[in-house]
Chain A
Amino acid sequence: MTRGDWPYWLREHRGTLLALAAFLLMFAIYGTNHPAGLNANVANTAANKGVLLAIVAMAQTLVVLTSGIDLSVGMVMVLANCLASTIVVGSPLQVVLGVLGVLATGALCGAINALIVIHGRLQPIVTTIATGAVYYGVALALRRVPGGDIDSTLGDALTGKVAGWIPASLVLLLVLVLVIWLPFRRSETGRAVYAIGSAEMAAYMSGVPIRRAKFAAYTLSGLLAAIAGLFVTCITSSGEASAANGNTYTLYSIAAVVLGGVSLFGGSGSAIGAIFGALMFRTIGDLLFVFNLEPLWQPLFQGLVLAAAVCLGALRLLRVRNRLDLYG
């Protein structure tokens, strides 16, 4: 990167850097005020919760970048959770096949969304509302009552600590970024996703492979949601077809995406920003616990923080020169 590129780089990553700074600040407050101090166990518990939301937020980011929205992401997670609690048990070979099966199911769910959006030409928001209901039905068919189990070696490995103090979940998140997000971002398909989100018509006219890029974005989103579902199973060691859980994670993933500086209009932001957005959102909830606020106030506080973060988006009004630019 030459010296002249810095302003552009900063501008492109402004959202991500702001999210990172806000998260570090909040986590520092959290760590220094925690009654037990910031030991490895506290950090591990916080990391497990944060990483779970971060993976769902990554899944949401991929679709949001195409200027779509995936309201089925939480239901895919719940479906993967129910499936994993059924098939990721037994001999090591069965466990490996089970994990592959869970991931393939998630990717299939994403691919179904993609096919309906691309070839059925339905709006992503209505499509994913409806497919979310279908995925929830499948989850419920697998687990009418909560239960099941997951291979304890896998569960402990993913939710425990590496080298005595590093939370394994953070390593998992890093691997996902390195193996899925960065290669995707740098590929031709990844660039096409950004182009579609910025201006679909212009991208189409320039010969950008629109269908392939959208298909890849939705499918990878489903895959990531399934990884999140697998991770839920590792944390809880059981499967539960809870519609409330699915809806909560869908909503939180959108909140994390917004906090992470990803534009809901598409075409700008990054999954790394969304990860910090998710970690920040989780830390906000934990801060209340640290400062002994009544749990009763927690939903209101989280809602107000979300509202404040959303209102930050209005700052762009100050940069508008022509009033007509306000009206799309």
Chain B
Amino acid sequence: MRHRADPAIVSAFGCIAALLLVGSLYSSSFLSPEYLLQQLKVASFLGVIATGAMVVILLGQIDLSVPWVVAVGGMMSTAIAGFGPVGQALAIPAGVACGVALGLVNGAGVAYLRLPSMVVTLAVNAVAQGLMVVHTGGFSPQDASSPAMRFIATGHSVFGIPNALLVWAVIGAAAVFLLTRTTFGRVVYAIGNRERAAYLSGARTRLVVLVSFALAGGLSAFGGVLLAGYASKAAQAMGDPYLLPAIAAVVLGGTSILGGRGNYLGTVAGVILITLLQSILSVMQIEEWARHMIYGTVIVTMLLVYGRGRRPSE
């Protein structure tokens, strides 16, 4: 099982190659290292957010609070960065901590109150939005990011590799380790397959669900911190364009939306695929309306090819 290539991941990487080929016919700069590194840098932000979304989807749940948790991460970290050198040092952990707190609320609702994740995360999203509106309007906080945030989002380290990409690589490696080499990861897959069985096997299912949502909240917020660093400032609607791509990237990478099945490599492929698709559509100067239509059609078509469920009779 382990050594057989997942058809979803193979086709996702195949599509990436096809996209690059189409792009290179349009302009040879699509294959240049600069362009590819730039794309990987932009993909890192989505990659960090999609990592959290993937853990939650593996549980068989969904996190719709991504948009405003991303915004909370960005806005709170820039606000804290306004409080002198201490604030600058605490900016990144504080932003992530706010995301973890919101994730804990999500997780508590799903794990302990047994509410459907779709509505809990929706409600948390609405509350987070309300908090940020009050925060901006009532306290007019600083919205410029700290040098450290700009460094991890836009800087370059060894061999000109973007720091954001290194950050994604570290988070990705940690996610792979967590999902495949720890009890926690095995329980996440077990819950996604059948929570009742996992519970009867003695797994602490509720704690694992709580921690998973907290993890997803923290990663979304960290994505927001990176985005704020990239754009040098945080804004209210900064997380809106990340909910659908994050879910789409996870699902296109072969993770079952019903939970219990999926591979991080697939999510990497999905993230790169979505980023490349968006980039190529905008470089080709395709009008916005057509971009939306192509984007939606590609996702449906790819899923129809390999993401289908079972017949009711099976």
Contact = CB atoms under 8 A, between A and B. Distances in A.
Interface of A: 69, 116, 120-123, 125-127, 129-134, 136-141, 144, 200-201, 204, 210, 241, 244, 247, 251, 254-255, 258, 264-265, 296-304, 306-307, 310-311, 313-314, 316-317, 324, 326-328
Q: Which of A116, A122, A136, A241 has the most CB of B within 10 A?
A: A122
A210 B311 CA distance: 12
A312 to B, nearest CB: 10
13 contacts: A120-B303, A121-B310, A122-B303, A126-B247, A137-B294, A140-B289, A244-B240, A251-B125, A264-B119, A296-B137, A300-B130, A307-B123, A327-B195
B116 A265 contact: yes
B113 A297 contact: no
Given A296-B134, A297-B134, A310-B109, A204 B123 contact: no
B115 A310 contact: yes
B304 interface: yes
Q: Secondary structure at chain A's binding surface: helix, strand, loop or mixed?
A: helix
B204 interface: no
Contacts of B295: 133, 137
Given A122-B307, A306-B126, A324-B199, A133 B296 contact: yes
A302 B125 CA distance: 11
Contacts of B303: 120, 122, 126-127, 130
B51 interface: no
Q: Secondary structure at chain B's binding surface: helix, strand, loop or mixed?
A: helix
A137 B247 CA distance: 19
Contacts of B84: none
Contacts, number: 165
B211 interface: no
A327 B199 CA distance: 8
Contacts of A247: 240
Contacts of A139: 289
B115 A137 contact: no
B114 A310 contact: no
A210 B312 contact: yes
Given A130-B300, A144-B289, A314-B113, A301 B130 contact: yes
A116 B205 contact: no
Nearest to A307: B123
B85 interface: no
Contacts of B195: 327-328
Given A130-B248, A141-B293, 6 more contacts: A120-B300, A200-B312, A210-B312, A241-B289, A300-B131, A310-B109
Contacts of B131: 300
B127 A304 contact: yes
Contacts of B313: 204
A316 B293 CA distance: 42
A120 B304 contact: yes
Contact of A116 (B62, B114, B129, B300): B300
B300 A303 contact: no
A69 to B, nearest CB: 7
Contact of A137 (B109, B257, B296): B296
A192 to B, nearest CB: 13
Interface string B93-133: 00000000000000001000111101110111111111101
Nearest to B309: A121
B138 A296 contact: yes
Q: Which 3 A-B pairs have the closest CB atoms?
A: A300-B130, A137-B292, A303-B126
Given A120-B304, A201-B312, A300-B134, A258 B292 contact: no
Contacts of A133: 244, 292-293, 295-296, 299
A60 B294 CA distance: 25
A125 B62 contact: yes
Contacts of A316: 114
Nearest to B244: A129
B3 interface: no
A129 B129 CA distance: 21
Interface string B120-159: 1011111111110110011000000000000000000000
Nearest to B116: A264
Contact of B115 (A123, A127, A314): A314
Contacts of A136: 292
B113 A317 contact: yes
